Amino acid sequence: MPFVPHTPNDERIMLASIGVTSIEALFDEIPQALRSGELKQTPSGISEMELLRTMNERARLDEMHLSFIGAGAYEHHIPSAVWDLVGRGEFMTAYTPYQAEASQGTLQLIYEFQTMMTRLLQMEVANASVYDGATAMAEAILMAIRANKKNKSRRVLVAGDINPAYIEACQVIVRNQGIELKVQGFNEDSGVIGLAGEPGEFAALVVSYPNYFGCLPDVDALTDWCHENGALMVGVVNPTAMALLKPPGEWGKEGADIAVGEGQPLGIPVSSGGPYLGFMCCKQAIVRQMPGRIIGRTSDVDGRDGFALTLQAREQHIRRAKATSNICTNQGLLVTAATIYLSLLGDVGLRSVAIRSHQGLQQLLRNLESTGKIKTRFSGPCFHEAAIELPIPAREVLPLMAEQGILGGYDLGLSFRALENCLLVNVTETKTEQDLALYGTTLLNALEAKGC
Amino acid sequence: MAEFPTELRYLKSHEWVKQEGDVVIVGISDHAQDALGDVVYVELPEVGAEFQAGDEIAVVESVKAASDIYAPVAGTVVEVNAQLEDSPELVNEAPYADGWFFKIKVSDSTAVESLLTAKQYQALCEAEEH
């Protein structure tokens, strides 16, 4: 069977044989109001030559700067072995086939990824991944509603200090499913959410750790608050930070119920927004409500170890409309990269990446505060990212810094009007002391050029 | 050969119902457990939850499929078979005894009478097989 799309001639023959006039007519039963219509923003196709030229031009833009932007995607050193191995044909072209068990190598790799994620997060089970951190959070919200049978609520409390892009993605995904997200504001001094005043009727609370500003909410208290009020606790975590901070499985008295996050920091380059990978873990008790594929270890008739898709009755090829999710794809190639990255670094290596990143940020903040012109915006400890406050709007200094080859951070005014003087700055182990010093002088020069 | 105890009532969706005063015990039939194969998980309702006749109330998962269980009559769940949590195989081993699913306190105790008799249900199963 040739792996090529249908030709217009094939389409004509198929339509004629079932007596339908056009492909469009096949979708007649879907009400107009539910259709997205033409994708007007999407340009028509271009040639391979034009495409390569455009993408090379864009790639060159990426290479030029020393970047201090995090805001959800983090530049870490990736050992060369990672993508050298990921690029091998056996991984690069493999897709979980429909008789998945024929691909024992792919299944073993995913099983090892799941094992690593459960150990890193101290959770009981993990799935084979979903698209990215934002969709992982949305799937966690849908899952929490299904799993929390004691609480009939279809409202979920979402910490307002979570990445705004994640909250927006979640709104888009859940709003047509009768689920209401209540976004809880954060404290202006500490940058984190406190205990939600009145319990209200919430199926779950979603908290980010570290949060969007790099700060650390009191996850122990929040987790206990959740469980005392009949809600499930969902943690959105940075995987690198988990080598240093308390993992979600250990939060409060009972641990978080669901833990998700963006797997990009684990060996995946920051490349214009993707492709990334979302990871997802939960307690064993609610595993049947977890979406996505889960690989289990078993033994074959000869008693040898083998791997199989497990708990498939949750999935859409069996449960149809009642499946836990219509996500059945995992980010196989990115999972391969993350698994090789984690196995090369080990727990000691990942912990030293986390410590070096944290120390680098502390150094940068000390350098900046000593100038007297720049303050750390929020009180309390940070992991490897912090909001700094300038005397003038951040958008005025960023272009000047970029001219000097430095991407100075993310302009928080783009998401929070009250924070227009604030820059969200990230430091990882990739930044040397010289880089940190250069950042300081470049920012000061930019401020001086603006009369500060 | 599947068993069809005559003292029970049945639904065409393969649940059996046994009435004890204003409480009914519900499980799935011998025929159903045989068709499903090894049962690996049963998702039971919460005690205290109210259901109308025909509502989806539980899910039974076997190595082959997952199937919904429907509330045979309207009422409130008063007890669930907690043993099934760790031993779902009871559904296969003793579908009419230890493999029961849940008990419902019925709002209308005559509702059970409108369900299928063993004879009617058996005829239905046999027709399905041919």
Average pLDDT, integer, range A130-137: 95
Query: What pLDDT band is residue A314 in, cutting at 50, 70 and 90?
Result: confident
| pLDDT at A4 > cutoff 80 | no
| DSSP H/E element including B20 | strand B15-20
| pLDDT at A241 > cutoff 60 | yes
Tens digits of residue pLDDT in A40-72: 888 888 999 999 999 999 888 877 789 999 999
| pLDDT at A225 > cutoff 70 | yes
| DSSP H/E element including A118 | helix A104-121
Residues of B in contact with A314 (CB under 8 A): 66
How far is Cα A293 from Cα A103, in angstroms, rounded to an integer? 14
| Pick from A150, A318, A319: CB nearest B46 | A150
Contact B41 A313 (CB under 8 A): yes
How far is Cα A128 from Cα A294, in angstroms, rounded to an integer? 6
Sort A273 into a burial class: Cβ within 10 Å, 0-12 / 13-18 / 19+. Answer: exposed
What's the predicted TM-score (pTM) here?
Answer: 0.88
* Cα–Cα nearest to A207, from A198, A218, A199: A218
* C-alpha torsion B47→B49→B52→B54, nearest 10: -60
Find the length of chain B: 130
How far is Cα A137 from Cα A72, in angstroms, rounded to an integer? 13
Residue A376, pLDDT score: 96
Tens digits of residue pLDDT in A136-177: 999 999 999 999 988 888 999 999 999 999 999 999 999 888
| Pick from B41, B43, B65: CB nearest A318 | B65
Residue A98, pLDDT score: 63
Give every residue of chain B whose pLDDT is below 50, as ranges.
Answer: none
The first and second tokens of residue A72, run together, are: 């959800």
Cα of A228 to nearest chain B Cα, Å: 19
Residue corresponding to tokens 């043993």:
B83
| Pick from A149, A150, A288: CB nearest B41 | A288
| pLDDT at A429 > cutoff 60 | yes
How far is Cα A41 from Cα A28, in angstroms, rounded to an integer? 24
Contact B66 A319 (CB under 8 A): yes
End-to-end Cα distance, chain B: 15
Query: What pLDDT band is residue A196 in, cutting at 50, 70 and 90?
Result: low
How far is Cα A328 from Cα B22, in angstroms, rounded to an integer? 44
Query: What pLDDT band is residue A385 in, cutting at 50, 70 and 90?
Result: very high
Give me the residues paired with residue A353 across strands: none
User: CA of B42: which chain A residue's CA is closest?
Assistant: A288
Q: In a 3-state reduction of DSSP, which class is residue B77?
A: strand
Residue A197, pLDDT score: 58
How far is Cα A204 from Cα A201, in angstroms, rounded to an integer? 9
Q: In a 3-state reduction of DSSP, which class is residue B53?
A: coil
Higher pLDDT, A312 or A445: A445
Other C-beta atoms closer than 10 Å to the C-beta of B89 total 15
Average pLDDT, integer, range A123-132: 95
Residues A426 and A74: beta-carbon distance below 8 Å: yes
* Cα–Cα nearest to A74, from A285, A204, A324, A241: A241
Average pLDDT, integer, range A169-196: 90
CA distances from A329 to A22, A278, A368, B24 (A): 29, 11, 44, 43
Residues A326 and A334: beta-carbon distance below 8 Å: no
Residues of A in contact with B66 (CB under 8 A): 313-314, 318-319, 322
Residues 288-317 of A with CB under 8 A from B: 288, 313-314
Share of residues in chain A with pLDDT > 70 (%)? 96
Give me the residues paired with residue B9 across strands: B17
